[in-house]
Structure 1
Amino acid sequence: MGPRRIVCLTEEPTEVLYALGEQDRIVGISGFTVRPPQARREKPKVSAFTTAKIEAILALKPDLAIGFSDIQADIAAELVRRGVEVWIANHRTVEGILDYIVRLGALVGVAGRARAYADGLRRGLEEVAARAAGLPVRPRVYFEEWDQPQITGIAWVSELVGIAGGEDVFPELAAQPLARARILADPALVVERRPDIILGSWCGKRFRPEQVAARPGWDTIPAVREGELHEIKSPLILQPGPAALTDGVAAIARIIHTWAARRG
């Protein structure tokens, strides 16, 4: 049967459990959850990303709390001290996301359904990659996760840019799992790498392309000269779950294909 009363400290376990038809196990969710929309209407919100309402979580009598990454280590530690079983996933790649879905499905007793769901997501990515293979040229892409300081895209974002037909201009930073290791030491590095497209997804606030374009020296970047600065909404791409592998990669692909069509 697996756990029956699950608190989801981030959005991706909520989205996966709903997709697998196991939403009745969820008793609490993150306040940042937007997918699926009904989760916000049906489930109490008991956490942010770096903070949580510990007493409210305990009142729900969970038999499992699911979170993500070192950033939620303090929340996890407090819940463990209070007697709650906690699973903190730490996946950072596309394969990691697919494996996470399978593991979560197995945890709640629907391993076969989870494998089928993950396989479908994988096929969708393969279709995106197949369409990208026909592009006459692959644009160089700079993905910005935060603006002050400037933080480049994490591994799954870099991989999805590649699947969609682009080339991440900071692949060496994408390999770094922690955000602080992906801070750009010098904004001039972006100028040097001359991206054709700039994608912004500033978690928790709106991307401001005019502010990016106004950075000193950035007017020489091809993306800035040609107005190729685009926002990818953070719920679509910064959550390591199904959203990134579906709507997130699709949004990136649309931008890249439109860019390529102008040069066709």
Structure 2
Amino acid sequence: MELPFVQPPLTVTDQLNRRVAVPFPPQRIVSLVPSQTELLFDLGLGSRMVGVTKFCIHPPEARQQATVIGGTKNFDFEKIEALQPDLIIGNKEENYQAGIEQLAQKYPVWLSDISNLDEALDMIRRVGLITGRKSAADAMADEIASSFATQLVPAALTPAAYFIWRKPYMVAASSTFIDTMLPRAGFRNVFANLSRYPEITAEQLAAAAPAVILLSSEPYPFAEKHVAEFQTICPSATVRIVDGELFSWHGSRLRHSAEYFASLRA
């Protein structure tokens, strides 16, 4: 009797230069990152998604058809065990190291590490390769790259502060994906001298004197009711609510970011 052909695992390197052997193509995928969950669905992999986080809000059906396995920084290991995934996709910044290490002892765990647009495009291409959707992923990455290449960024950038949290105030500073997106939207980060996501005071904000204050819609849900609070600190600044997903989600949502950034400059 002829035995069925079993395709050998695909051994790849993730964005942390970890070697990962992935059954190819993977059939039971768990995503630990909202932006990458959306990417996997947009690559046509929805039927293979068995686990997502409670923050995976796009597409809406993600949390309905797949098991919710906790948050991005507190995994439910028993639920993941029951799913028997053959690929788990995570991210260095959004997930927590101890949890990732525990999962990697049992399952193939592929991690992204993204701090700029080029690395985001590289992630999309690599995820397409390991999931058997290389052509679709390459086309998507090319589309995103082209959308940014055709956008004209003004030579003089507007000084801006980008807030991600309230009580305490926290901003996106240097060494973040958001910081690299701000110039593409026409802004210069007034807190570029600080690192990552620092807490700042009202006094520091006033001293930085941004011309524009950008209040992100996520992770803190800034809304119009918060505008006056910041206007009091910087009376001469323009305070705007902006779509945080289009500044910080590094997956397929980037297809809409360049056009959105152009609308902010209009």
Q: Give yes or no for TM over 0.5.
A: yes
Counterparts of 1:77-96 in structure 2, within 5 Å, are 77-81=101-105, 83-96=106-119
Find the aligned partners of 2:206 and 2:51 in 1 and give their Cα distance. Answer: 44
Correspondence 1:57 to 2:96: no
From 72, 81, 95, the counterpart of 2:96? 72
1:255 aligns with 2:264: yes
Residue 87 of structure 2 contacts residue 108 of structure 2 at CA under 8 Å; is this kept in 1? yes
Tell me the CA shift for residue 80 of structure 1.
2.5
Render the CA deviation track for 1:165-190: whole Å, top value 9, x for unaligned.
222222343xx4xx4xx314554333
- Report the AA paired with residue 98 of structure 1: L
Indicate whether 1:232 and 2:247 are aligned.
Answer: no
Does the CA contact (< 8 Å) of 2:115 and 2:180 recur in 1?
Answer: no
Q: Please state whether the residue corresponding to 2:96 is helix, strand or coil.
A: helix
CA distance in 2, matches of 1:172, 1:12: 27
2:14 corresponds in structure 1 to none
Q: Return closer, same or farther for 1:249/1:230 CA change in 2, 3 Å cut-off.
A: farther
Q: 3-state DSSP class of the match of 1:188?
A: helix
Q: Does structure 1 conserve the Cα–Cα contact (< 8 Å) formed by 2:184 and 2:261?
A: no
CA contact 1:144–1:202 (8 Å) conserved in 2: no
Q: Does 1:194 align with 2:200?
A: no
Which residue identity is paired with 2:166? D
Q: Which residue of 1 aligns with 2:29?
A: 6
The amino acid across from 1:160 in the alignment is M
1:218-229 matches, within 5 Å, as: 218-220=233-235, 222-223=236-237, 228-229=238-239
Q: Please provide the CA RMSD for this pair.
A: 2.4
Is residue 152 from structure 1 mapped to residue 171 from structure 2 by the alignment?
A: yes
**Deviation at 1:84?**
1.8
Cα–Cα, structure 1 residues 122 and 66, in superposed 2: closer, same or farther, change >3 Å?
Answer: same
Whole-angstrom CA distance in 2 between matches of 1:237 and 1:40: 23
Counterpart code for 1:140: P
By how many angstroms is 1:40 displaced?
3.0
Q: Which among 170, 176, 181 is matched to residue 191 of structure 2?
A: 170
Q: Does 1:113 align with 2:136?
A: yes
**What TM-score comes out, normalization by structure 1 length?**
0.79
With over 3 angstroms needed to count, the CA separation of the structure-2 counterparts of 1:235 and 1:46, relative to structure 1, is farther
Give 1:250 deviation, angstroms: 4.0
Q: What secondary structure is seen at the aligned counterpart in 2 of 1:171?
A: coil
Structure holding more helix per residue: 1
| Mapped contact 1:161–1:249 kept (Cα < 8 A) | no
- Give the letter aligned to residue 68 of structure 2: K
- SS, match of residue 51 in structure 2: strand
Q: CA deviation at 1:249?
A: 4.7
Partners in 1 of 2:54 and 2:231 — Cα distance?
32
Q: Matches of residues 24-39 of structure 1 in structure 2 within 5 Å?
A: 24-39=47-62
Q: For residue 265 of structure 2, what is the amino acid of its counterpart?
A: I
Residues 199-257 of structure 1 show CA distances to partners (whole Å, capped at 9, x for unaligned) of 1226443212233334xxx235x31xxxx2122244443333232x2444544432332
Q: 2-side partners of 1:31 and 1:15: how far apart? A: 13
Taking structure 2 as the reference length, what is the TM-score of the superposition? 0.78
CA contact (8 A) 1:146 1:202 kept: no
Contact kept, 8 Å, 1:139 with 1:256, in 2: the verdict is: no
Partner of 2:252: 242
User: Once the 2 structures are TM-superposed, how far is the Cα of residue 120 of structure 1 from its aligned partner?
Assistant: 0.2
Partner Cα distance (1:105, 1:240) in 2: 14
Unaligned residue ranges in structure 1 (runs of 5+): 258-264
User: Is contact 1:232–1:251 with CA below 8 Å preserved after alignment?
Assistant: no
The CA deviation at 1:94 is: 1.2
How many residues in Structure 1 have an aligned counterpart in Structure 2? Answer: 237
